[in-house]
Structure 1
Amino acid sequence: MSRPGQLSHASLEQAAHWYVRLQAPGGALEQLRWQTWVAQSPEHLAAWQYVQRVSQRFAPLLEQPHGASRALRSSRRQTLKTLLVLGVGSTLAWGTWRHSPLPRLASGWSADYATANGETRDALLTDGSHVWLNALSALDVRFDAAQRLLRLRFGEVLIDTAKDPNRPFLVDTEQGRLQALGTRFSVVQGDEHTQLTVFEGRVRVSTLNPHPRIVDTGQQLTFTRNHFNTASVASPAREAWSRGVLLADNLPLGELIAELNRYSPGHLGCDPAVAQLPVMGSFPLKDSDQALHLLQAALPIRVERPMPWWVSVGPQ
Structure 2
Amino acid sequence: MNARPHTLSHASLQQAADWYVRLHDERPGSQVRQQWQQWLEQHGEHRDAWQYVERVSQRFGQLQQQDDGQVLRRTLAQPSRAAITRRQGLKSLLLVGAGSLLGWSTWRSTPLPRLVASWTADFATGTGEVRETRLADGTRLWLNATSAVDADFSSALRLLHLRFGEVLIDTARDTRPFFIDSRHGRMQALGTRFSVRKNDDETWLTVFDGTVEVCTSGSRETLRIQAGQQVAFSAAKVGSLGTAANARESWTRHVLAAEDMPLGQLLDELSHFRHGHLGCNPAVADLPVMGYFPLDDSEQSLHLLKAALPIRVQRLTDWWVSVEPNNA
Deviations 1:94-150, CA, capped at 9 Å, x for gaps: 38x636755344333311111222222221111111111111211000011111110
- Whether the aligned pair in 2 keeps the contact of 1:246 and 1:282 (CA below 8 Å) is yes
| Corresponding letter in the other structure for 1:25 | R
Aligned residue for 2:118, secondary structure, equals helix
Q: What are the residue-to-residue correspondences of 1:197-236 with 2, within 5 Å?
A: 197-207=206-216, 208-209=218-219, 212-236=222-246
CA distance in structure 2 between the aligned counterparts of 1:196 and 1:233, rounded to whole angstroms: 11
1:272 partner SS: coil
| 190, 196, 203: which one aligns with 2:205 | 196
Q: 1:216 to 1:287 in 2, by over 3 A?
A: same
Considering only aligned residues, what root-mean-square deviation do their CA atoms show, in Å?
Answer: 2.1
Q: TM-score, normalised by structure 2?
A: 0.82
Secondary structure, aligned partner of 1:33: helix
1:303 matched to 2:305: no
- 2:9 — aligned with what? 8
Q: Determine helix, strand or coil for the equivalent of 1:263.
A: coil
Q: Equivalent of 1:175, from 152, 167, 184?
A: 184
Distance 1:90 1:112, change over 3 A: closer
Q: Percent identity, aligned pairs only?
A: 55
- Counterpart CA distance in 1 for 2:169 and 2:205 is 11
Does 2:186 match 1:185?
Answer: no
Rate the CA distance shift 1:30–1:161 in 2: closer, same or farther, 3 A: same
| Length, aligned pairs only | 287
Does 2:248 match 1:247? no
Question: Given the alignment of the two structures, is residue 289 of structure 1 paired with residue 299 of structure 2, yes or no?
Answer: yes
**TM-aligned CA distance change 1:211 to 1:42, over 3 Å:** closer
Structure 1 segments unaligned to the other structure (5+ residues): 64-88
Which one is further off, 24-33 or 179-188? 24-33
Contact 1:130–1:160 (CA under 8 A) maintained in structure 2: yes
Letter in 2 for 1:283: F
- In the other structure, the counterpart of 2:34 is 32
Q: Counterparts of 1:1-316 in structure 2 under 5 Å?
A: 1-23=2-24, 24-59=26-61, 94=105, 98=108, 102-165=112-175, 167-207=176-216, 208-209=218-219, 212-316=222-326
Local SS of the residue matching 1:58: helix
Name the stretch that deviates more: 253-262 or 30-39: 30-39
C-alpha change, 1:305 and 1:210, in structure 2 (3 Å) is closer
Distance 1:61 1:103 in 2: 19
Please give the alpha-carbon distance, in whole angstroms, between the structure 2 residues aligned to 1:105 and 1:238.
Answer: 24
Q: CA deviation at 1:35?
A: 2.1
Paired residue secondary structure (2:151)? strand
Shift of 1:192: 2.1
Is the 8 Å Cα contact of residues 302 and 313 (structure 1) preserved in structure 2?
yes
Is the Cα contact below 8 Å between 1:131 and 1:159 reproduced in 2? yes
In structure 2, give the amino acid aligned to 1:243.
R
Partner of 2:84: none
Distance 1:209 1:29 in 2: 56
Give the conservation status (yes or no) of the 8 Å contact 2:4–2:278: no
DSSP-derived class of the 2:196 partner? strand
User: In the TM superposition, what whole-angstrom CA distance separates every residue of 1:245-275 from its partner, at most 9, and x where no partner exists?
Assistant: 1111111111111111111101111111111
* Distance of 1:62 and 1:202 partners within structure 2: 45
Q: Is the 8 A contact 1:155 1:189 kept in 2?
A: yes
Aligned mates of 2:151, 2:228 — CA distance in 1: 26
